[in-house]
Amino acid sequence: MYENLIYCLNATVPIFLLMVLGTFLKKAGLFNDATASKLNGYVFKAALPVMLFEDLSQTDFFSFWDSRFVLYSFAATLISIIISIAASLAIKDRPVRGEFIQGSYRSSVALLGAAFLQNIYGRSEAVSLLLIGAVPLYNVAAVAALAITSPENTEQNTASGTRILRTLKGIITNPIILSILIGLIWSLIDIPQPVILKKTVSSVAATATPLGLMALGASFKLEKTAGHLKQIFSATALKLIGFGVLFVPVAIALGFRDDKLVAALAMLASPATVSGYVMARNLGHEGTVSAGIIMLSTLLSAITLPVWLYILRSMGLI
């Protein structure tokens, strides 16, 4: 239990501290709202897409392909999205509803999933399989939910046809979705990457997480979360506990063990990803609920994830 706690703290606390650092830098006058907005735009349109491209383009999927695990990841994600949409219907404020939906189901798979597997097993390709099964659906659903419920699309004078076209355009032109498609094609065709390209891509990708987290912290306004605490706590409960309770037993029943089971846990019960806040801001939302879910789920995951891992390890599954 102690070892599980330590490595979960090592994986989650630095994330939370980078958010706090962003808040501190703003109070110190080094960041302002304009700086945070520019950083969010950079992370959403450049750094994050490059990071996803790097993960996918350099992976040899043919050597470790597992159709059952990819289908499980897709199905669990799809059902989680449907549950999140159903739960959001109780929220009257449509823009908040969109942020609640993506904050409830969307996990930090690329970041924490990789950290978990590296800490326990060294290198594992299970996260790459998750990227195929879950991440494209993560992003398509997030873009659709956020675009449909954005303040621009909730105006009464916005025709339903216009909303649909705007949503479809947002999905098709979304930098994250485009980067996933390009990365998959690059990997399947096996296009060689020169050392210069690899190093450049790696350098840009490395900026995504720290800059995104600091921009989130600089943009976070605690006083604005007061009116949305119910939604923030509800989404966090689904994210850290609810979906894990529903789908981890299914993964066990399907025979997934060790790295694949830990990857499934990361998909289902890790904190909300910072890219959710970046995407919300870039699709016209205030981002307060998204930021609150990310910060609360990151903080509480230092407690919930060790418990999950202790249960699985005590059962001899990992």
Q: From first to last of its 318 residues, what are the pLDDT tens digits of the chain?
A: 566 667 666 666 777 788 889 889 999 999 888 888 888 788 878 988 898 888 788 877 777 788 999 999 999 999 999 999 999 999 988 889 999 999 999 987 766 666 666 666 766 677 778 878 888 888 889 888 988 888 876 554 455 566 667 667 777 787 878 888 898 889 888 888 899 999 999 999 888 878 887 887 887 777 777 778 999 999 999 999 999 999 999 999 999 988 899 889 989 998 888 778 878 887 888 888 998 998 888 888 878 888 888 888 888 887
User: Domains in the chain: how many in total?
Assistant: 1
| DSSP-based three-state secondary structure for 33 | helix
Structural contact between residues 264 and 251, judged by C-beta atoms closer than 8 angstroms: yes
Cα 75 to the center of its chain, rounded Å: 17
137, 78 contact by CB (below 8 A): yes
pLDDT score recorded for residue 114: 62
CATH number at residue 264: 1.20.1530.20
Structure confidence at residue 255 (pLDDT): 93
Predicted local distance difference test score (pLDDT) of residue 123? 61
Contacts of 63 (CB under 8 A, 6+ apart): 125
Residues near 147 by beta carbon (within 8 Å), at least 6 away in sequence: 153, 163, 166, 167, 170, 171, 283
The whole-number pLDDT of residue 89 equals: 94
| Of residues 314, 299, 315, the one with CA closest to residue 3 | 314
Q: Is 66 helix (H, G, I), strand (E, B) or coil?
A: coil
Residue with tokens 């499934």: 264
User: Token pair of 261, please?
Assistant: 């089971």
Strand partners, 107: 272
> So what's the pLDDT on residue 122?
63
Phi, psi of 121 (to 5 degrees): -115, 0
Q: What is the pLDDT of residue 154?
A: 55
pLDDT of residue 112: 64
Token pair listed for 296: 């609360």
pTM (predicted TM-score): 0.79
Question: What token pair was written down for 49?
Answer: 């897409």
Return d(Cα 124, Cα 131) in angstroms, integer.
13
Range of the structural domain that residue 216 is part of:
2-314
Q: What is the pLDDT of residue 165?
A: 74
- At 87, which amino acid appears? A
38 is written with which tokens?
A: 């520019």
